[in-house]
A and B are shown apart, each in its own frame.
Chain A
Amino acid sequence: MASSIENNNEKLTLKSSDGEEFLVEKHVALQSTLLQNMLDSDCSSADVIPLPKIDARTLALVLGYCKKHADASSSKQGELNSFDSEFLKDMDMGALFNLVLAANFMEIKGLLDIAAQKIADTIKDKPHQEVREIFHVENDYTPEEEAAVREENRWAFEGFP
């Protein structure tokens, strides 16, 4: 098995947290440093690589990104940039968070970068109360403390409730 992965047409099977299996070409899988390291260190003898933290919907998106970037490799940066922005365009925050977690786990730097940037662009103009909910942050401030921090940064709240 280990020797057969030398073949470029070799395919891997990835299994999502909800049990769905994805057949992936090796050169597409190599977009992920995690999978690359597994292949390099001969861990590939298993027929199926389980990805217990990534659901099927997210994994399908991730593999779509990897396929585009693997196939286009280095040729058309402009085309890839427009693919990237279209790819994330109407994605809701929940899907974006799943995507960023998957990219982080699978170590896909480019995807992690664009997903984190998309999250930043989306929250940039939101009120802090909404950001708190988006990130599930527990508010440890007393109302008085929060008011004091707000007062210190009064200028940043122009136009915010």
Chain B
Amino acid sequence: MQTITQKLANPTRFMQLSGIVLPWIAGAAAAILCYGLFLVFAVAPIDYQQGETVKIMYIHVPSAWLAMMAYGLVALSSFGLLVFRHPLADVSAKAAVPIGAAFTFLALFTGSLWGKPMWGTYWVWDARLTSVLILFFLYLGLMALRSSLDDESTAAKLTAVLALVGVAILPIIKFSVDWWNTLHQPSTGLTSTIDPSMRIPLLIMALGFTLLFFAMHMKAMRNEVLRRRVKALRLSDIARRDGRTSQPTPAAG
């Protein structure tokens, strides 16, 4: 009995399934995000200390979660490539990196815009901020490494190793606010540390962002499968033409 990952190992089946699922995930993401924005701007209360600037939390926190979740997905996919040789593992890892980098950038940028009115500075070399910046550099490093190698197979393996080495940054980011004395507040826990009137909009925005991420990741994977088919066909075309030109021409007359 095949597992779901084995069933999806076949790129053709993945393209069929994702072609069906993708519009639904994208539609759900759009609907949930619209509802979340309505809650944020029309329902959620202002913070007694931060006032209206707490509204930045509803995009900063989901971006930060996705920045880490995306890297977790890259590391998981890299593990799937190196250990199980799953045909779509590298496709998944390659597709997730630019999207993860974008959300890490958004986490840093919105955090900085939130920090200026609240902390009085756009940036401080705080443990949480610095470790997320390192995560951003890791993403850029993965993209740079991959684009510097022509051979797909070598690029896949080297980026997979780098991704797995870099996964150590995730617990550092997560626990930085506990291990070190940071300006950044502790984690926005999903249980007690935040009032339901703010927690529910935050959860809805996080769900919308997460669905959006998976929709974009699925689309990027589909693009990557097509890209590799195009590359294979081009190689085949070149081989065919070389085969034709290198055949010995019969002696004239």
A and B bound? Answer: no
Query: Which residue numbers of A lie inside 8 Å of B, CB to CB?
Result: none
Query: Which residue numbers of B lie inside 8 Å of A, CB to CB?
Result: none
